[in-house]
Structure 1
């Protein structure tokens, strides 16, 4: 960058920092970096200062999961039949079990049960023991927003419920034709005061939600469930009768979590990778340790703070120079990122935080990594992006 142009940019950023009511004197609030296709830094501001990365942190989580599980890994959910005709479901962290997927699995499962002469189930048990109980993801709260959804070994529909209120008929209805609106969700929906939208299930409700959906779909397929749905454990004497294998590879799941910046999916994958590294049950401590070891031993990253895997926590910190190492490692997966014109990218947003990392495409489709980290209110984001992009064109 010509000296005069860089001086003008720095002056503009300094003015933006002064205008920011949340700025702390003497603490850098803006960092950026652009490198050539070989990773050589072309220009940077505060490259060694650790910033809150927000959702751009998902790239590191994805790399760590690829390392522990493999790009072609598929989540499995197993079904067992107890001696007393109790049906048990053992989850393993699958982040993308939807109503459509559950209904298809229940169709297959019902066929298996009927072939075994089983048309009645005594009760249905959900085994969530692949995850430690009541894992609290740092940065999440108790709101009805989907980004606050809790994590479980067995989950469905991101532990959320979509709904709408039909004013003509005066009825509360499901917001998705493929998903039944189960009666236990109604009090929480009514308490929201909304006439349509999506609410997050409580941690207790979410632990049996997938099981309740299984009960509903099985009964549609002719399997009667006499009792309710409860938590329990698969035992050695229980007979394994069916395994649902995710229709998505890990790489396909990462594409979706990056496209929609899905925090729930990121942390389900983050926890599963930790369990693969240190054995179940999954925990935050194991997953943080596994990702930290991968970042240090494989990527050579030391200046980092890891609290969880989605970027929702402000305790996650990484510098632009260390994020460059993430981007260099992610180059072989760049097509999984969002794409517009001459840029592949991942953005991140929290209150007072705006980040963007990715690759500008240059001649011969070469990839130029860039990082923009703004940890302040105010302006500066767009002018940095355009200035960095001009350097590789």
Structure 2
């Protein structure tokens, strides 16, 4: 009986036997019902030979496994040692202007470090001005929904704490901040009052305008704790380099490679698209846009994976319009192998998952008893299926 009803599948099974993998280690009859018409499976041995290939050239929704491509393109365009920057300026009217360049790790702790430096230079300002012009206004990420879930946080050139706030409630129900560096600012309190959870982390901004408002209030609160005073308001305006004086150019303590490790560990859509947009602006000039980020990815694919038929709408995988086939995903794994230490690791497996409603994907590397690395791609776009059952059947010994 032909388990996959195709000559290609027969050849795949024969190759398993020829490569000395025990037949019971690859239960092809059990695999058959697990891979539907909207699914794909590819397993490649350490000799770079496909062992199992089912629908490997079929374009499917990748979900978060596309983040591996975003990281590779960013390393290619910016370099693994790239560090995001944030700049502080003083204008002739006595305003301090904070200009963001897409740093996804601009936390209240980082702001505190900057505020301490600014306080050594000057302690009194008029207005606090926030500049988000490095990104285009109101960038809309396909798949992002306007709710308080952290994975739906919007992008912005100047974003604080991933555009989220962590809080808990006192015994009397009053919300308090879980951030030692940042109290609950008015904008965050307004969002907390309308949310339905008693504690946790929520998104406090739904677009770039709200993100800048939250950033401004957070900056002012942390600066005040550092002894910096403002007599005016929070405003939004771009820096004018012909007149404004640079006070501080802050570089993130995190390299891009270190950020990538956290991006893959937590599968953050926000971090992925902040990087995606920033590499586009660095390559093709500000303001950042999705189109420029896509151009960077497309250029990377042209130079390193010619012939790949990958559709990238945004960099996180939250859009269901992204497309990739298992063969192209495997080619990405080949190039990601030197960086596999950035992936989640468990019991001889380095992996990235991609999960959406009705989608369960998993890709990465499996280590055999001899230390050899097997590459695998499991793309399940059929609702109700599990990658775990497939991994149990294809795991090498």
User: TM-score by structure 1 length?
Assistant: 0.91
Contact 2:107/2:160 (8 A) holds in 1: yes
Shift of 1:325: 0.7
**Mapping of residues 310-389 of structure 1, within 5 Å:** 310-389=316-395
1:41 counterpart (45, 50, 54)? 50
Q: Check the 8 A contact 1:301/1:322 in 2, yes or no.
A: no
Find the residue that maps to 2:395 and give its secondary structure: helix
Q: CA deviation at 1:329?
A: 0.5
Compare 365-374 and 144-153 and name the one that shifted more.
365-374
Q: Which residue of 1 aligns with 2:72?
A: 63
Aligned to 1:9: 30
Q: Is the 8 A contact 1:39 1:324 kept in 2?
A: no
**Distance in 1 separating the partners of 2:386 and 2:214:** 44
Using the TM superposition, give the Cα deviation of residue 11 of structure 1 relative to its aligned residue in structure 2, in angstroms: 3.6
Q: Output the CA distance in 2 between the equivalents of 1:380 and 1:239.
A: 57
**Contact preservation (8 Å) 1:126, 1:232:** yes
**Equivalence for 1:84:** 93
Asked if 2 retains the 8 angstrom alpha-carbon contact of 1:299 and 1:329, the reply is no
Distance in 2 of aligned mates of 1:255 and 1:130: 25
Where does residue 280 of structure 1 map in the other structure? 286
Partner of 1:126: 130
Q: Which residue of 2 aligns with 1:224?
A: 229
In the other structure, the counterpart of 1:150 is 154
Kindly indicate whether the alpha-carbon contact (under 8 Å) linking 2:360 and 2:386 is maintained by their aligned counterparts in 1.
no
Question: Counterparts of 1:198-217 in structure 2 under 5 Å?
Answer: 198-202=201-205, 203=207, 204-217=209-222
CA distance in 1, matches of 2:28, 2:187: 61
Match of 2:41 among 32, 41, 51: 32
Structure 2 unaligned blocks of 5 or more:
1-11, 15-22
Alpha-carbon deviation of 1:292?
A: 1.6
Aligned to 2:116: 107
Instruction: Tell me the C-alpha RMSD between the 2 structures.
Output: 1.7
Aligned residues: 373
| SS of residue matched to 2:354 | strand
Q: 1:190 aligns with which of 190, 193, 200?
A: 193
Measured after TM superposition, the shift of residue 184 of structure 1 is: 2.2
Aligned to 2:252: 246
- 1:167 Cα deviation (Å)? 2.5
Distance in structure 2 (CA, Å) of the matches to 1:54 and 1:69: 24
Secondary structure in 2 matching 1:84: coil
Structure 1 segment 280-299 matched on structure 2, within 5 A:
280-299=286-305
The offset of 1:364, in angstroms, is: 4.9
Distance 1:276 1:161 in 2: 29
Determine if contact 2:182/2:222 at 8 Å carries over to the other structure. no
Please report how far the alpha carbon of residue 180 of structure 1 lies from its aligned counterpart in structure 2 after TM superposition: 1.1
Shift of 1:278: 1.2
How far residue 275 of structure 1 moved from its aligned partner, in angstroms, is: 1.2
- Contact 2:187–2:214 (Cα < 8 Å) also in 1: no
| Cα distance change, pair 40–183 in 1 and its aligned pair in 2 (3 A) | same
Provide structure 1 residue ranges, at least 5 long, that are not aligned to the other structure: 18-27, 114-118
1:363 deviates by 4.7
C-alpha distance in structure 2 between counterparts of 1:198 and 1:328, whole Å: 36
Partners of 1:369 and 1:271 in 2: CA distance? 29
Report if the CA contact (8 A) 2:129-2:235 is conserved: yes
